[in-house]
Structure 1
């Protein structure tokens, strides 16, 4: 998703420039295919093996390749450099685990060679920049511009989304609502226990539960049936009644739309050890009061940036009990809720301002070429 704002910006400024966007997963393909500008070509990325890469580059003949986040493909990078094709790494990040692995003698030799072939690296944070430099990325190619995930949250709702929002708002009929987004297996148990406790004080409370992987909805549904909890699956298009306690979203690509119908968003992938959080900016963009758990991985830089603007912008809780207490506070105090919503939206507005332009100003010199050239972007989402 972080590639989308750059793709749209490129298409708007260079309407005649062929753009190819590739992805490595089916879920990303399903989400992205309906969000791209007209004319953008979209397909799966080739395997990073010599024959596949040579065939891919030989067919498309790109003059620029944009890689996203942690996507370091040795054969692609080295083959492109050999042919004089500029390769840029956007939203560049490297986990501590990956950094330690690349720092080993054999890994360091390969990664330093790869990084020396890049034309530009735009890291997420100073820490990320230091890691790339320690792996021998040339200092002169590292430039800061901001996190493109802020720009993803700034994408306006389309006509279909607006219609879906209005439909859900009518179904929810001013009930108190909270949403648990991108919930991983195991986290759902925490969320369901918290919701059960909250409904004792707020009987009409509705939970919008969005599993990270739609297939996990089956397990959630089975659990709710055993507990005799009234729930609705989004895929069935069944109407949410006043008796519905939980709205389980088992569809793809609707998270940004759903943030627009809830005042409170709890971001998953953060409540169990070993998880690494998810993007909080999309919820902040539409004015949700945002909460997350303790395990946020590289998204910690985003929390810090938003806290620096307003400490109320994101509430990080240590676990189940703190989550329950924080939700009780927001559900029971409209002023506190409004303050958190306003803080999140203001922080997002500040951080998202101009990020795509700053990135594009750094990338643009590498796009200069004939109109038959292709601007190629790899998405890691």
Structure 2
């Protein structure tokens, strides 16, 4: 009864959802009709992997690679779908149908997935009920339950427990595992955070820096963070006159909007940085992960301004580089804690960087501690594959 009430409420709210407006209003190629479509012939007899949006689409890369040819992907947002199609062009993908019971029941009957993997924790009641009825195993991989979600799930435990009691929850942390048990998941195991299994880039971007210089790389920056990078550069230049600041905006189109207070070079124009260049702007796509290897310190963007949540620091840690994040790294706080990555306020950053760059002993210990923590935590993909019966 509650499930039908949920479906009725969801149907009534559909016109107000920003991602599925009525009247055939489009975002990309997405209309309301695509939410009710249940066809997915390319996904038949495959493992169905569901991700939420853009960030999650990137995080599942190790798992998609490991399940190459066996997996099809569903995404909640149209922006996420665009990202998935770009990242995994050979993997079948589509939007997840609207979570109304008859719709998802039909979708699963037509698609006949071997298993359903839900990345992190998106609980779709109708999908879970239909999968349970059709005997399709469901796994929550790299599962997490935030403070806010935990409170809501506990209130709905009587409703949720029959839907998740047969599902397997493969938790990121012991804390997430304990919460999953309280919510009603019957089988819970801790495997770690899939974000830790980011692979090193296959193609290495080249960069030639003239002279012996301290190099700061600000990766995936957002509005407000470039200005912070300029201020930090100015203060550190008093102690390190030849310091070089490299900035890679998260959205490349913003690169031309930046106005650094010093001589500037752009990645699209040159791969050689002369001694008199203060700022190097990375206005190309897909090179940041390998450029991190040229840094003395990597500073992760999206974490010094609210509302973003930060970006994955592991791409920098892979190169055994010291990494610093801001206080607003909510989406990656657990990863930062596991890898002993410090989180700093804006005003703390210049002094922290000065001390780090001035003291070789502290610098080397920082690199060793972070990298050794990473080595202990990696291997999440293998643990997930073993748990879902797909290893080898």
* Structure 1: runs of 5+ lacking an equivalent: 12-16, 308-313, 369-381
One of 289, 307, 313 as aligned partner of 1:256: 289
Cα distance 1:282–1:20, how it changes in 2: closer, same or farther (>3 A)?
Answer: same
Contact 1:184 1:211 survives alignment (8 Å): yes
Partner of 2:217: 179
Partner of 1:78: 129
User: RMSD value over aligned CA atoms?
Assistant: 3.1
Contact 2:220 2:311 survives alignment (8 Å): yes
Contact 2:132 2:163 survives alignment (8 Å): no
Matched, 1:330 2:356: yes
In the alignment, the residues of structure 1 paired with residue 324 and residue 197 of structure 2 have an alpha-carbon distance, to the nearest angstrom, of 20
Pairwise CA distance, 1:142? 0.4
One of 174, 184, 191 as aligned partner of 1:136: 184
Pairwise CA distance, 1:22? 3.8
Which deviates the most, 171-180 or 322-331?
171-180
Pairwise CA distance, 1:292? 1.5
Report Cα offsets for 1:255-312 as digits up to 9, x if no partner.
32222222311123332455533322222121110112223325333333334xxxxx
| Residues 1-381 of structure 1: pairs in structure 2 closer than 5 A | 1-11=58-68, 18-24=70-76, 40-50=90-100, 53-54=104-105, 56-104=107-155, 107-118=156-167, 120-138=168-186, 141-152=187-198, 155-158=199-202, 161-162=203-204, 164=205, 167-168=206-207, 170-171=208-209, 174-215=212-253, 217=254, 221-224=256-259, 228-234=261-267, 236-242=268-274, 243-273=276-306, 275-297=308-330, 299-307=332-340, 314-317=341-344, 319-352=345-378, 354-364=379-389
- TM (norm. structure 1) is 0.75
SS at match of 1:325: helix
Pairwise CA distance, 1:32? 5.7
SS at match of 2:294: coil
SS at match of 1:201: coil
In the alignment, the residues of structure 2 paired with residue 98 and residue 21 of structure 1 have an alpha-carbon distance, to the nearest angstrom, of 24
Pairwise CA distance, 1:4? 2.2
Pairwise CA distance, 1:95? 1.8
Pairwise CA distance, 1:19? 2.0
SS at match of 2:354: helix
In the alignment, the residues of structure 2 paired with residue 26 and residue 204 of structure 1 have an alpha-carbon distance, to the nearest angstrom, of 45
In the alignment, the residues of structure 1 paired with residue 107 and residue 273 of structure 2 have an alpha-carbon distance, to the nearest angstrom, of 51
Pairwise CA distance, 1:200? 3.3
Contact 2:265 2:281 survives alignment (8 Å): yes
In the alignment, the residues of structure 1 paired with residue 118 and residue 146 of structure 2 have an alpha-carbon distance, to the nearest angstrom, of 16
The structure whose Rg is larger is 2
In the alignment, the residues of structure 2 paired with residue 338 and residue 237 of structure 1 have an alpha-carbon distance, to the nearest angstrom, of 34
In the alignment, the residues of structure 2 paired with residue 270 and residue 25 of structure 1 have an alpha-carbon distance, to the nearest angstrom, of 23
Report Cα offsets for 1:151-178 as digits up to 9, x if no partner.
11xx2331xx22x2xx22x256653211
Pairwise CA distance, 1:143? 0.5
**Whose helix fraction is larger, Structure 1's or Structure 2's?**
1
Number of residue pairs matched by the alignment: 333
Cα distance 1:129–1:306, how it changes in 2: closer, same or farther (>3 A)?
Answer: same
SS at match of 1:229: coil
Pairwise CA distance, 1:363? 0.9
- TM (norm. structure 2) is 0.73
* Structure 2: runs of 5+ lacking an equivalent: 1-57
Contact 1:66 1:90 survives alignment (8 Å): yes
